[in-house]
Amino acid sequence: MVDFTLSEEQQMLQELAREFAMENVRPMAEHWDENSEFPMEAIEAAHELGLMNLHIPEAYGGMGMGTLDEVVVQEEFAWGDPGFATASYSNGLTAAPIITGGTEEQKSKYLGRLTEAPRIAAYAVTEPGAGSDVASIQSTAVKDGDHYVLNGSKMWITGAGKADWFFVLAYTDKSAGYKGMSAFIVESAWDGVSLGKKETNMGQRASDTRSVNFEDVQVPVDNLVGGVEGKGWFNAMTAFDLSRPNVAAHATGISRAAFEYALQYADERETFGKKLHQHQAIQFMLADMKTKIEASRALTWKSAWEADNGIRNTESAAHAKRFAADMAMEVTTDAVQVFGGYGYSEEYPVARLMRAAKVMQIYEGSSQVQRMIIGREMTRNL
Ligand SMILES: Cc1cc2nc3c(=O)[nH]c(=O)nc-3n(C[C@H](O)[C@H](O)[C@H](O)COP(=O)(O)OP(=O)(O)OC[C@H]3O[C@@H](n4cnc5c(N)ncnc54)[C@H](O)[C@@H]3O)c2cc1C
């Protein structure tokens, strides 16, 4: 039996997130984007309302919710502002490998730091020379007594400028290939950690993206994730099964926002004596946009539901992330088309949404990488 009904609790959570997005996020979206301003005040407000750190277990001060609960909230956040959604979800992505692979002490200390106050954690895997091809990273961590000496440069790290701590992937044994990678929790205040300048990105400018350098950083052995070397690749990749449904929800929220603006405009604007949506070409365009949103949400919810029910969701998360991201690009492009010349102007929100949509096809595994994952999953038992 398939049931798409949200529980009463989930409906209340959705309502809370929707009101929060309407009051605290949407009205600030243009300002944050125009000024490249990090939305700390809104993150603090979300923290206060219990809308942050949803997936962190209650034992560490989190909300102890499931992935489906989380995606319902994340769609609303991205509807309000995609940059806010990305900036606030940095915690979700970074907490995931600690929840699944951290030691009890690491969970208690570092997840606890995220839940006791509005703090940011950042996921530092990508490097200047290695994005899709994670195994090509150059960062190294060499054991020296009771600590590791970490060296390397990370690039495009969401939330880096505000991070309290980082999840960092580095080689402890280069000769062992991806099995020689280990993950570390590195505090931003430690000696040898330095930040690059905030990148000027095409969109989602509320989010803070920058490089992070680690120069002879002394990382205590207690901060080796899971306490075992060689598990870094596994730690870093399993996080995506939990995070990709959320990124797909962000893409769905972007599409929904663009569609709503386009529908409203198509009802207000008249050409050739008719409202825009009375021209069948425009009506069909709007109909296709709506189908793409419904399909994106269905794939997103399925992958989240699988995660919550202990079903391996690597493939369904890749379907959801790839499809919803590609649809967000198509839907926002069509929304600009419905607005005509006004759509091309930053005076109207659809241009900002189109700029915001592009990165959905690039980060957390590009659309090409998602197809590689789907291809690998569908052929592995042949
Ligand atoms: C705004 C933003 C925020 C980000 N946040 C984070 C973060 O918080 N933490 C983090 O670690 N990283 C982050 N990233 C990095 C992001 O994950 C990478 O940019 C992404 O994985 C792609 O890597 P790349 O940029 O090195 O592109 P490349 O890997 O060089 O790829 C370039 C192009 O080639 C395609 N391609 C590559 N290999 C193949 C192949 N085998 N077959 C077909 N096509 C291929 C890619 O899809 C892409 O279109 C962020 C990036 C951006 C832009």
Identify the CATH number of the domain in which residue 368 sits: 1.20.140.10
Both 209 and 271 in a single domain? Answer: no
Judging by DSSP bridges, how do beta strands 147-158 and 274-275 pair with one another?
unpaired
Both 243 and 374 in a single domain? Answer: yes
Is residue 2 situated within a structural domain?
no
Residue with the nearest Cα to atom 30 of ligand 1?
A: 131
Q: Report how far residue 311's alpha carbon sits from residue 26's, in angstroms, rounded to the nearest whole number.
A: 35
Tell me the per-residue pLDDT of 310-367, one tens digit each, with 9 for 90 and over. 999 999 999 999 999 999 999 999 999 999 999 999 999 999 999 999 999 999 999 9
Both 140 and 206 in a single domain? Answer: yes
Mutate to test the pocket of ligand 1, among 84, 132, 243 (most ligand atoms within 8 A of CB): 132
What pLDDT shows up at residue 4? 83
The encoded tokens of residue 100 equal 């699944």
Please tell me the pTM assigned to this model.
0.97
Residue with the nearest Cα to atom 38 of ligand 1?
A: 132
Q: Annotated catalytic sites, by residue?
A: 364
What pLDDT shows up at residue 241? 95
Please say if the pLDDT value at position 76 is more than 90: yes
CATH number, domain containing residue 189: 2.40.110.10
Both 373 and 248 in a single domain? Answer: yes
Residue with the nearest Cα to atom 27 of ligand 1?
A: 131
Mutate to test the pocket of ligand 1, among 88, 134, 154, 156 (most ligand atoms within 8 A of CB): 156
State the chain's mean pLDDT as an integer. 97
What pLDDT shows up at residue 17? 98
Boundary (domain end) residue, out of 188, 217, 233 = 233
Is residue 337 situated within a structural domain?
yes
Q: Distance from the CA of 133 to the center of ligand 1, in angstroms?
A: 8
Q: Distance from the CA of 135 to the center of ligand 1, in angstroms?
A: 13
Percent of the chain with pLDDT over 90: 98
Q: Measured over all CA atoms, what is the biggest interatomic distance in the chain, rounded to whole angstroms? A: 79
Q: Helix or strand or coil: residue 189?
A: coil
What pLDDT shows up at residue 360? 98
Both 139 and 113 in a single domain? Answer: no
Residue with the nearest Cα to atom 24 of ligand 1?
A: 131
- For the CA of 201, the closest atom of ligand 1 is 1
User: Count of domains in the chain?
Assistant: 3
Is residue 3 situated within a structural domain?
no
Both 111 and 228 in a single domain? Answer: no
The encoded tokens of residue 273 equal 């004596």
Is residue 93 situated within a structural domain?
yes
Q: Helix or strand or coil: residue 122?
A: strand
Mean pLDDT, range 132-144, rounded to an integer: 97
Mean pLDDT, range 111-126, rounded to an integer: 97
Both 143 and 166 in a single domain? Answer: yes
Mean pLDDT, range 107-120, rounded to an integer: 97
Residue given tokens 């959570």 in the structure block = 13
Both 80 and 196 in a single domain? Answer: no
Both 216 and 243 in a single domain? Answer: no
CA neighbor of 70 nearest in space, from 54, 93, 50, 47: 54
Tell me the per-residue pLDDT of 9-39, one tens digit each, with 9 for 90 and over. 999 999 999 999 999 999 999 999 999 999 9
Both 159 and 195 in a single domain? Answer: yes
Q: Report how far residue 243's alpha carbon sits from residue 240's, in angstroms, rounded to the nearest whole number.
A: 5
Is residue 1 situated within a structural domain?
no
Boundary (domain end) residue, out of 233, 259, 278 = 233
| CB-based pocket (< 6 A), ligand 1 | 123-126, 131-133, 156-158, 201, 209, 359, 362-363, 366, 368-369
Please say if the pLDDT value at position 3 is more than 90: no
Is residue 345 situated within a structural domain?
yes
Tell me the per-residue pLDDT of 222-259, one tens digit each, with 9 for 90 and over. 999 999 999 999 999 999 999 999 999 999 999 999 99
Both 308 and 207 in a single domain? Answer: no
Residue 129, domain extent:
122-233
Is residue 29 situated within a structural domain?
yes
Q: Distance from the CA of 348 to the center of ligand 1, in angstroms?
A: 29
- For the CA of 132, the closest atom of ligand 1 is 29
H/E stretch holding 370 reads helix 367-379
Is residue 36 situated within a structural domain?
yes
Boundary (domain end) residue, out of 233, 252, 278 = 233
Q: What is the dihedral of CA 312, 317, 319, 322, to 10 degrees?
A: -150
CATH number, domain containing residue 79: 1.10.540.10
Q: Report how far residue 218's alpha carbon sits from residue 221's, in angstroms, rounded to the nearest whole number.
A: 9
- For the CA of 129, the closest atom of ligand 1 is 26
What pLDDT shows up at residue 2? 72
What pLDDT shows up at residue 1? 54
Q: Report how far residue 368's alpha carbon sits from residue 354's, in angstroms, rounded to the nearest whole number.
A: 20
Please say if the pLDDT value at position 273 is more than 90: yes
Residue with the nearest Cα to atom 29 of ligand 1?
A: 132
Binned at pLDDT 50, 70 and 90, residue 296 comes out as very high
- For the CA of 133, the closest atom of ligand 1 is 29
Give the distance, in angstroms, between the CA of residue 205 and the centroid of all CA atoms in the same chain: 14
Tell me the per-residue pLDDT of 166-211, one tens digit each, with 9 for 90 and over. 999 999 999 999 999 999 999 999 999 999 999 999 999 999 999 9
Q: Helix or strand or coil: residue 181?
A: strand
Both 134 and 253 in a single domain? Answer: no
